[in-house]
Structure 1
């Protein structure tokens, strides 16, 4: 019996897939405490910047490179180097380790522990999953997890949070198409406020999230 690849992708990016994404805010907790992100519109604007110019874009390019056969060790080293803070490094490394372990156990696939997008790229290749839908769902899951963090932190209503995710879905689709064709030379981004927020997070007086 075989499974539709799209069903496999939905399982991989489901909130119930045990990577621990709910524990990380990507620096959002800092911005909320500082009063920089206090509304659904501001959350959407921050998420759009992170998707276009920050971790969302770089993750998508890294994932696509590995899925299309790039050297895993080389891309994993680059992925680690791109993290701007210790907590962001923890975020990607721990999620990647958990993802790789679960995929190995469920599909008996040869997936090496690696930063999260690199681990996902390996799974896409090993399980022969379609790249564009994988990138779309990865980016949407990235946005959805951080929107959920915003719902808890700001706080927002569930419907407001889902409105943010819905508004960002076309961007996830467009970025997926670009990342699938991008070279490593196009991986650079510029989201300094998000990066600084992730660096300042560990010094907050009280914290809910690990990043």
Structure 2
């Protein structure tokens, strides 16, 4: 990849943990899995995250972000609405759906405020008040013309960073262990990105029942630090 410095800076801002979208409040079922002992150390957390990158929902989300990126660059608002509705229908639990909507809504509100020129592209999604996170990410990356492969790497790395942070807090893991885990996930992220770039529309599927069960259990978990 030959990426301009401005694209790198845009990507760093979009994928930053400091982006005010509330990602740190969600565990995507990890809080339940840690509570039940399914995940209890760095090794089991890496295995879970590796399997998610290999065949889980995050792959579909990233693939839809890719399509949204392309739709944004040609101004196809009808396709943006289609993919947003499609992704909402894919959510198996209320927590997963609401977390995706909240983060997407927060990013759309932010990007319209700092980049007013994007408003015609996202006006219908703002009006619907239910824009998924992957959709908002793809729109922003497309509008800023971030290199497509780099944008997908940033999306997946941001996802992994957030969930490793959950493990550091809850298992708990040391900060050094968490950073080593994130480093060791790089080959998984690179492989998933390469595969996602080749996926056709009729290949968008995932093996997601573990996450779905954990998410459903989390809704009634007695003691919770996270919203999902």
* Global fold match (TM > 0.5): yes
2:60 is equivalent to residue 58 of structure 1: yes
Distance in 2 (alpha carbons) for counterparts of 1:81 and 1:48: 25
1:140 equivalent among 157, 160, 167: 157
Distance in 2 (alpha carbons) for counterparts of 1:50 and 1:181: 18
Distance in 2 (alpha carbons) for counterparts of 1:201 and 1:147: 18
**Which residue number in structure 1 is paired with residue 144 of structure 2?**
127
**Which residue number in structure 1 is paired with residue 107 of structure 2?**
99
Distance in 2 (alpha carbons) for counterparts of 1:78 and 1:116: 13
2:214 equivalent among 173, 197, 211: 197
Alpha carbons of 1:3 and 1:163: their partners in 2 closer, same or farther (altered >3 Å)?
A: closer
Secondary structure at the residue paired with 1:210? coil
Secondary structure at the residue paired with 1:15? coil
How far residue 181 of structure 1 moved from its aligned partner, in angstroms, is 2.8
**Which residue number in structure 2 is paired with residue 170 of structure 1?**
187
How far residue 3 of structure 1 moved from its aligned partner, in angstroms, is 6.6
2:205 is equivalent to residue 188 of structure 1: yes
User: Which 4+ residue blocks in structure 1 deviate beyond 6 angstroms?
Assistant: none
TM-score (norm 1): 0.95
When the two structures are aligned, how many residues end up with a matched partner? 210
How far residue 129 of structure 1 moved from its aligned partner, in angstroms, is 1.6
Distance in 2 (alpha carbons) for counterparts of 1:14 and 1:35: 30
Distance in 2 (alpha carbons) for counterparts of 1:169 and 1:82: 27
Secondary structure at the residue paired with 1:203? coil
CA RMSD of aligned residues (A): 1.5
Distance in 1 (alpha carbons) for counterparts of 2:10 and 2:151: 10
2:86 equivalent among 61, 78, 88: 78
For the Cα contact (< 8 Å) 2:57–2:207, is it kept in 1? no
For the Cα contact (< 8 Å) 1:131–1:180, is it kept in 2? no
For the Cα contact (< 8 Å) 1:24–1:210, is it kept in 2? yes
C-alpha distance after superposition, 1:108-146 (max 9, x if no partner): 223344100011111122222211000001100100100
Name whichever of 182-191 and 134-143 sits farther off. Answer: 182-191
Larger Rg: 2
**Which residue number in structure 1 is paired with residue 37 of structure 2?**
35
Alignment gaps of 5+ in structure 2: none
For the Cα contact (< 8 Å) 1:5–1:130, is it kept in 2? yes
Distance in 1 (alpha carbons) for counterparts of 2:161 and 2:96: 18
Distance in 1 (alpha carbons) for counterparts of 2:174 and 2:45: 13
